[in-house]
């Protein structure tokens, strides 16, 4: 177990404080990252009980391939990842950090054939959103952890410790959480307070929404008065999808995109968006002022979790477990939170953040209190039939955008 405390040398503390006050160079996208969602076959299938993990070669192969979303780890002005650099130095494991996860469906479409065969897909650690993690777990596409390698796993916050798809977190561990809400350009348009405001005439053709169905449709259903965490049905979903279809067909919505939606905001093709909280904070950090404002819509915001899993074909599971254990140290979790501006799932990170930067610790988009959380809802778990039906309906709109 690593017990690395934050260095007494004030360098790390100062870097964190500077990062929150200065421009950051974080506009690195994977070349050719998807602009829109890709249609995905969603036929239900049962878990393949014959899939077996390969022999773990971690003892002799000190490497690790980590596939993650853009803007999702601390980064310095030289493009290095300070906490990851220290992990490699302390553990002697060489990490290939790949920023190639732009959208849950497109990524799954890329790797599902290898997963289904139990093959090494080129990533030993991946961070899908929790609904996709549920699918991977149910299909037998992930490996069970050796918890002896992960004593810091005990630091997972209680509210995330026992999801219905993975009781006890035997096969998954949260990486970061966040909110989907509304962002708008404060220089180019007036205040946008609700989903309905996105359909204003002055924003015609200047709106981008997320290709993450549960966030975009979650906000639209909430605007219709639906509690997305409860047992809504096809009627409520269809009513909201027709709103989106209308706005796409009339050209109000310019694009439906994955993480690359931020490009539309930066180049001002879009003046408003259904957006993720941490992205907007980072965009403003680059500008040096609040050019884009992130708000919870009047009807509420969605909350989600992106989650570590080890794919079934990885031959380096112990190396992946070492990395998860490292990032579940409260001081490390707080340091990452200072850059990514998402909600950390690690107990003790709030107290560590108080020591690093009290202003950081009071940031509601990173350490939300009960009042903030009361304004959010998590999209309920869908069964296979619902997932197929709702995804197909959403894709039919996306492909027309």
Residue 31 sits in the same domain as residue 113: yes
CATH number for the domain harbouring residue 253: 3.40.190.10
Residue 196 sits in the same domain as residue 275: yes
Residue 113 lies in a domain: yes
Which band of pLDDT confidence, cut at 50, 70 and 90, is reported for residue 70? Answer: confident
Residue 22 sits in the same domain as residue 139: yes
Residue 139 sits in the same domain as residue 271: no
Residue 139 sits in the same domain as residue 77: yes
Residue 72 lies in a domain: yes
How do residues 89-147 score in pLDDT, each as one tens digit?
999 999 999 999 988 989 999 999 999 999 999 999 999 999 999 999 999 999 999 99
Residue 4 lies in a domain: no
How do residues 324-377 score in pLDDT, each as one tens digit?
999 999 999 999 998 888 999 999 999 999 988 888 899 898 899 889 999 999
Q: What pTM, to 2 d.p., does this model score?
A: 0.78
Q: How confident is the model at residue 33, as a pLDDT? A: 32
Residue 232 lies in a domain: yes
Residue 259, pLDDT above cutoff 70: yes
Residue 388 sits in the same domain as residue 252: yes
Residue 318 sits in the same domain as residue 342: yes
- Domain extent, residue 295, equals 178-303+377-398
Phi/psi of residue 217, each to 5°? -70, -30
Residue 29, pLDDT above cutoff 70: no
Cα torsion angle, 290, 344, 84, 9, sign? positive
Residue 341 lies in a domain: yes
C-alpha distances out from residue 41 to 105, 109, 210, 392, 400, Å: 10, 8, 19, 8, 17
125/48 Cα distance (integer angstroms): 20
* Residues sharing a CB contact under 8 Å with residue 162, sequence separation 6 or more, in sequence order: 168, 169
104-108, 245-249, 279-283, 373-377: which is most confident: 245-249
Residue 101 sits in the same domain as residue 218: no
Residue 41 lies in a domain: no
Coil, strand or helix: which one is 344? coil
How many C-beta atoms surround the C-beta of residue 235 within 10 A? 8
Residue 214 lies in a domain: yes
The length of the chain in residues reads: 401
Beta bridge partners of 156: 346
Residue 277 sits in the same domain as residue 358: no
Residue 84 lies in a domain: yes
CB-based contact 378:56 (threshold 8 Å): no
Residue 81 sits in the same domain as residue 185: no
How many domains are contained in the chain? 2
Residue 290 sits in the same domain as residue 268: yes
Residue 28 sits in the same domain as residue 151: yes
- DSSP alpha helices (H): ranges in 31-167? 82-91, 104-116, 130-139
Residue 8, pLDDT above cutoff 80: no
């Amino acid at each position: 177990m690593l017990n690395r405390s934050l260095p007494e040398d004030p360098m790390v503390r100062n870097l964190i404080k500077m990062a929150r006050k200065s421009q950051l160079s974080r506009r690195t996208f994977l070349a050719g990252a998807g602009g829109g969602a890709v249609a995905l076959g969603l036929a239900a299938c049962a878990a393949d009980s014959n899939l077996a993990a390969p022999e773990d070669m971690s003892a002799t192969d000190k490497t690790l391939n980590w596939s993650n979303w853009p803007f999702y780890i601390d980064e310095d002005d030289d493009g290095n990842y300070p906490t990851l650099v220290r992990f490699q130095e302390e553990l002697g494991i060489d990490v290939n950090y790949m920023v190639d996860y732009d959208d849950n469906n497109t990524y799954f479409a890329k790797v599902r054939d290898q997963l289904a065969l139990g093959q090494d897909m080129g990533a030993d650690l991946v961070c899908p959103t929790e609904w996709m993690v549920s699918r991977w777990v149910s299909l037998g596409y992930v490996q069970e952890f050796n918890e002896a390698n992960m004593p810091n796993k005990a630091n997972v916050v209680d509210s995330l410790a026992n999801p219905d798809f993975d009781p006890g977190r035997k096969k998954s561990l949260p990486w970061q959480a966040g909110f989907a809400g509304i962002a708008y350009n404060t220089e180019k348009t007036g205040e946008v307070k609700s989903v309905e405001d996105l359909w204003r005439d002055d924003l015609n053709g200047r709106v981008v929404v997320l290709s993450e169905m549960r966030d975009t449709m979650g906000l639209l259903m909430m605007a219709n008065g639906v509690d997305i965490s409860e047992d809504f049905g096809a009627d409520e979903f269809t009513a909201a999808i027709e709103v989106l279809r209308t706005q796409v067909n009339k050209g109000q919505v310019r694009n439906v995109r994955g993480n690359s939606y931020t490009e539309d905001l930066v180049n001002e093709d879009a003046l408003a968006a259904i957006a993720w909280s941490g992205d907007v904070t980072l965009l403003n950090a680059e500008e040096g002022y609040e050019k884009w404002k992130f708000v919870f819509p009047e009807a509420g915001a969605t909350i989600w979790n992106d989650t570590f899993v080890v794919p079934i074909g990885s031959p380096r599971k112990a190396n992946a477990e070492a990395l998860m254990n490292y990032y579940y140290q409260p001081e490390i979790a707080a340091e990452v939170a200072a850059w990514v501006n998402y909600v950390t799932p690690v107990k003790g990170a709030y107290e560590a953040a108080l020591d690093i930067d009290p202003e950081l610790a009071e940031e509601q988009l990173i350490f939300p209190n009960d009042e903030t959380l009361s304004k959010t809802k998590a999209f309920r778990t869908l069964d296979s039939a619902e997932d197929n039906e709702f995804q197909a309906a959403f894709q039919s709109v996306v492909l027309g955008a």
